[in-house]
Structure 1
Amino acid sequence: MAEATYAPPGTMDMEDGEAKGFEFNDKSIRRGFIRKVYAILMCQLLVTFGAICLFVYHMPTKRWFLANPYMIWVAFAVTLVTMIAMACCESVRRTTPMNFIFLAIFTLAESFLLGAVSATNAPEAVMMAVGITAAVSLALTLFAFQTKWDFTMMGGFLVCATVALLILGICAIFIRSNILQLVYGCIGALIFCMYLVYDTQLMMGGKHKYSISPEEYIFAALNLYLDIVNIFLYILMIISAASK
């Protein structure tokens, strides 16, 4: 989405002084937008990390999950419905408090799914994946803010890479191989690392060719959250395959 423009109230002509006021106003809006997105994202990640720890270290929760495996499908359905609603319906993701309600439901359902996946892995592997994901996400975010390269023009390439990854994942279902799982995890982690840089620069705006509107703070937080979640899942897959 191309970035919307914002004119200071009461101005019509863009003379030098007014142009500076416009630029300052636009940067102020963008900074406030970025702060809001990261505040929402941190709340999402804290909830998700808490759910992972609960499923990994709290044995009654793990036993309850193993006794009720159908809850995975319920959580998956809730995640899919809320994600499609926020992605496709502008009124859902822009109307307060509806957008926060949908995002909270999505985050809880996604956290349940991540906790369920983590419960099937060794606690050491899960915590290692969490630590690596946190370090990689921080490094990529700093890189996206500092680099002069514009990754916002890579949308088409990332879509093609995601389709190729999906095809490889379907093949991995029928071909049981630790090597294929390792390769699939490495490629998936690399693609979503690029997605994280791409979505971060879309949020930043500025001199990048494409940017997201400051009104889309829920959508921006959702994109970054999904990038980090996918990086975690693929890193966990790599660790699991390597341990075998």
Structure 2
Amino acid sequence: MWQSGAAGSKIGDVEQGGESQPSALYPTMMESPLLRWGFIRKVYSILAVQLLLTIAVASVVVFVRPVSLFFVSSGAGLGLFIFLLFLPFIVLFPLYYYHQRHPLNFLLLAIFTISLSFCIGLTCAFTSGKVILESAILTSVVVVSLTLYTFWAAKRGHDFQFLGPFLFASLLVIIVFAFIQLVFPLGKLSLMIYGALAAIIFCGYIIYDTDNLIKRYTYDQYIWAAVSLYLDVINLFLSLLTLFRAAD
């Protein structure tokens, strides 16, 4: 009787989702962990597609030499490059406004990713393969490590929302520093300092945005969550590329 009662209780728990439900992602979590994990998987699936698309487009620009030469050797190519350089910033505004409207959000996301990928490809086209490989490997290791750390820290009750104002202020400083470097070149040492500081800032953004992914993004903000993480990864890669290229 006791065994049959225990078995019946166990079956009842399984039917109610007691054992199939994953544990809470962080203390005092009120929502269903199953729904939050589904949202997280969706965001990382979109992010993976974005990164694969970026690698594909950038590889075409790097390895098909006529493409990169067209952008730097002709007036039409230079004009197209400037247009592609500003296009991601232009697309960000309607993407933010329509990030919940399907399928327009995916169309804008594709335009944003492809245009940014062309710019990344042109940056890599005139950079040594060793520097690109070093930057890509270090970016991958850092992103995976910081993502795992943030999930581990959130599980133990740590919160990283306090980083927001500091990261935003640091980003403004880096933007002004880049503008000064563009107008008044300060040499390779300043480029190395810029690359190192920018890499540290975007490492912080990876932790901050991953923490928001775990706790704060709503289920219909999957596009904007993916865009935030994508920009963190791309900017970290470009920062390390700047650092290694100056040191090469």
Provide the TM-score with structure 1 as the length reference: 0.83
Structure 2 residue runs of 5 or longer lacking an equivalent are 1-15, 22-28
**Paired position in structure 2 for 1:158:** 167
Partner of 2:118: 112
Q: 1:153, CA displacement in angstroms?
A: 2.1
* Runs of 4+ with >3 A deviation: none
Q: Give the equivalent residue in structure 2 for 1:4.
A: none
Q: What's the offset of the Cα at 1:24?
A: 8.3
Counterpart of 2:26 in structure 1 is: none
What is residue 72 of structure 1 aligned with on the other side? 81
Conserved 8 A contact 2:191-2:242: yes
Please show how residues 1-244 of structure 1 align to structure 2 within 5 Å. 26-67=32-73, 68-87=77-96, 89=97, 92-147=98-153, 148=156, 149-173=158-182, 174-205=184-215, 211-243=216-248
- CA distance in 1: counterparts of 2:129 and 2:63, whole angstroms: 8
SS of corresponding position for 1:93: coil
What fraction of aligned residue pairs are identical, expressed as a percent?
A: 30
Judge conservation of contact 2:163–2:204 (CA < 8 Å) in 1. no
Give the distance between the partners of 2:211 and 2:202, measured in 1 at CA.
Answer: 14
Larger of the two Rg values belongs to structure: 2
- How far residue 25 of structure 1 moved from its aligned partner, in angstroms, is 5.9
> Is the 8 Å Cα contact of residues 181 and 238 (structure 1) preserved in structure 2?
yes
Write the letter of the residue equivalent to 2:148.
Answer: L
CA contact (8 A) 2:139 2:233 kept: yes
- TM-superposed CA distance for 1:79, in Å, is 0.9
TM-score using structure 2 length: 0.82
Distance in 1 separating the partners of 2:212 and 2:220: 13
**Take 2:185 and 2:89, find their aligned partners in 1: how far apart are those partners?**
27
